[in-house]
């Protein structure tokens, strides 16, 4: 089934309280050391951009870069000082200035030149998000590839449809997997686009005008913005500073919420299929995976439970971020200060859900005979709709519906197949012959457009991979309804 995603690597740098809310790569990404490095990367890039623009001496930029090493700072002290300052950037800039002063007192004058605290925090966030995008994209690719294999391998695997948790006419597991694939592919497109849009630098200075870098009409500030974006490896800078315009980040957070919800739906389906009474699917097991502290026989839906926990957690975080968007004037009081833990929590929860469901999709066990057995256990009552439609063409829908209500109740009470009950009803046999009744309960003959929908979802997911957002059903019919010559 390919290389499986592992979400429980040894030596995880994760706090115990966060152990069910992140993955090792994302925990490392949002660790103190990583966040500190991102802030220092901003200070280094700013100094070099300003040196390139002739605003500070080149020697000062190099001295600042030499001092901007994580080992020169105590994260615990910075965190404590941040509570007093209201932002980590103030104590960081002060500590960096002091360290530069030890080797180059003249260069120390130019630390954090023309920047404001939020420039540091927001650009550090963008740097972290750019790295997070690569992590989640890798796991999303594994998930989609695994779902595609399931959708194709089980194109003819019939199973009960279930509506309101009750048996319904049959579907295929291939269609179910394709449905998961379609939602994940759409969510992935939105998420990666949102990551790309949100990962931009922030550099506006005190009021978002960069007035400290030049006189009105000068292009010094614009030149530094461009050079800073290049130094940090971003494609292009934003049109203007965005200190109180949080729409890009909000779009990313919402995209995380939607995708995590889609993954939660997949997890809910699979966990229900794993119930003993259903027994149609099972998560991959392994050492320490899915067991119980008291019941040795259990094989719990562990990855599904982690995904569902994320799907429960993320909507509240999304709401918190949206509430914090209402930010005052040119700088918020409490709005952007609320964002770091929200963004970190949302991205890590989303990443955990993606990795968890990739692990499930790559190693899931499907019990095909049990799926057919569960259809058989209904004694054919799930085909009542089929019988009603056949009779409805002769008797009218209402009369046929009434007949089938009587027949299905009798089938349930007596434990006999629906086709047998119908064969004993003259008002039915007058219109349906023995051959029609004999074939009534064959699942493969009552799947409608299930396979067309399955193929359309697969086509759609492929289009999204290449950036084409055209609905896949149109493309499917274009490819499959023409003549051989046209194809």
As annotated, the active-site residues are 292, 331
Q: Which of 127, 122, 48, 45 is closest to 89 using CA atoms?
A: 122
Q: Spell out the residues 6+ positions from residue 410 whose beta carbon is closer than 8 angstroms to its own.
A: 416, 421
How many angstroms separate the CA atoms of 213 and 113, rounded? 9
Say how many CA atoms lie within 13 Å of 17 toward its Cβ.
1
419, 441 contact by CB (below 8 A) = yes
H or E segment to which residue 141 belongs:
helix 117-153
Report how far residue 398's alpha carbon sits from residue 392's, in angstroms, rounded to the nearest whole number: 8
Number of Cβ within a 10 Å radius of residue 478? 13
The Cα–Cα gap between 248 and 242 comes to 9
Structure tokens at 217: 């009409």
Instruction: Please say whether the beta carbons of 319 and 402 come within 8 A.
Output: no
Residue 319 corresponds to which tokens in the numbers above?
């709401």
**How far from the centroid of its chain's Cα atoms is residue 7's Cα?**
15
Is the dihedral angle over the CA atoms 361, 362, 365, 367 positive or is it negative? positive
Residue partners of 181: CB distance under 8 A and separation at least 6: 144, 147, 148, 151, 457, 458, 461
Helix axes 173-198, 247-273, angle to 10 degrees: 160
| Cβ proximity of 69 and 99 under 8 Å | no
Q: Please name every residue paired with 365 in a beta bridge, in sequence order, or none if there are none.
A: 282
- Distance between CA atoms of residues 2 and 471, nearest Å: 29
Residues 6+ apart with CB under 8 A from 38: 123, 124, 125, 127, 128
Is residue 379 left, alpha or beta, with left meaning phi > 0 and alpha meaning psi from -120 to 50? left
**Locus of tokens 């995590």:** 260
**Phi/psi zone of residue 402: left (φ > 0), alpha (ψ -120 to 50 degrees), beta?**
alpha
Report how far residue 27's alpha carbon sits from residue 20's, in angstroms, rounded to the nearest whole number.
Answer: 11
CA–CA gap between residue 436 and residue 423 (Å, rounded)? 10
């Amino acid at each position: 089934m390919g290389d499986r995603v592992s979400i429980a690597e040894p030596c995880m740098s994760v706090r115990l309280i966060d152990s069910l809310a992140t993955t090792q790569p994302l925990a490392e990404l949002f660790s103190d050391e990583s966040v500190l490095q991102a802030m220092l990367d901003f200070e280094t890039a700013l100094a070099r951009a300003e040196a390139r623009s002739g605003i500070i001496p080149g020697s000062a930029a190099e001295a600042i870069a030499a001092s901007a090493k994580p080992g020169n700072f105590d994260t615990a002290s910075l965190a404590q000082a941040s509570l007093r300052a209201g932002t980590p950037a103030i104590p960081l800039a002060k500590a960096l200035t002091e360290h530069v002063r030890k080797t180059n007192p003249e260069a120390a004058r130019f630390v954090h030149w023309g920047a404001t605290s939020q420039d540091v925090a927001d650009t550090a966030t963008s740097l972290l998000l750019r790295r997070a995008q690569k992590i989640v994209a890798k796991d999303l690719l594994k998930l989609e590839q695994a779902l595609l294999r399931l959708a194709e391998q089980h194109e003819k695997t019939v199973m009960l449809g279930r509506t309101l948790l009750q048996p319904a006419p049959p579907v295929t597991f291939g269609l179910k997997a394709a449905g998961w694939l379609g939602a994940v592919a759409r969510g992935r497109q939105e998420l990666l686009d949102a990551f790309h849009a949100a990962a931009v630098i922030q550099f506006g200075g005190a009021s978002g005008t960069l007035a400290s870098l030049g006189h009105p009409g000068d292009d010094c500030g614009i030149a530094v913005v461009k050079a800073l974006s290049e130094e940090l490896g971003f494609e292009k800078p934003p049109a203007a500073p965005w200190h109180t315009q949080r729409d890009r980040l909000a779009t990313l957070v919402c995209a995380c919420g939607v995708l995590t919800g889609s993954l939660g739906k997949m997890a809910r389906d699979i966990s229900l299929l794993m119930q003993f009474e259903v027994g149609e699917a099972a998560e991959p097991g392994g050492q320490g995976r899915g067991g119980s502290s008291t019941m040795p026989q259990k094989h719990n839906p562990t990855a599904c439970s982690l995904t569902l926990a994320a799907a429960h957690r993320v909507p509240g975080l999304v709401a918190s971020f949206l509430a914090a968007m209402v930010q005052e004037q040119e700088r918020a009081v409490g709005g952007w200060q609320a964002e770091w833990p929200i963004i970190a929590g949302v991205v890590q929860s989303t990443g955990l859900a993606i990795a968890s469901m990739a692990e499930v999709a790559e190693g899931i066990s499907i019990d095909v005979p049990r799926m057919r057995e569960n259809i058989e256990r209904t004694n054919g009552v799930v085909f009542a709709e089929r019988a009603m439609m056949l009779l409805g063409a002769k008797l009218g829908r209402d009369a046929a519906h009434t007949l089938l209500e009587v027949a299905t109740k009798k089938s349930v009470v007596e434990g006999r197949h629906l086709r047998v009950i119908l064969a004993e009803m003259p008002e039915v046999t007058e219109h349906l012959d023995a051959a029609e009744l004999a074939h009534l309960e064959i699942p493969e003959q009552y799947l409608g457009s299930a396979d067309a929908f399955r193929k359309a979802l697969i086509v759609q997911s492929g289009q999204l991979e290449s950036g084409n957002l055209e609905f896949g059903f149109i493309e499917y019919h274009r490819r499959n309804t023409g003549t051989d010559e046209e194809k």
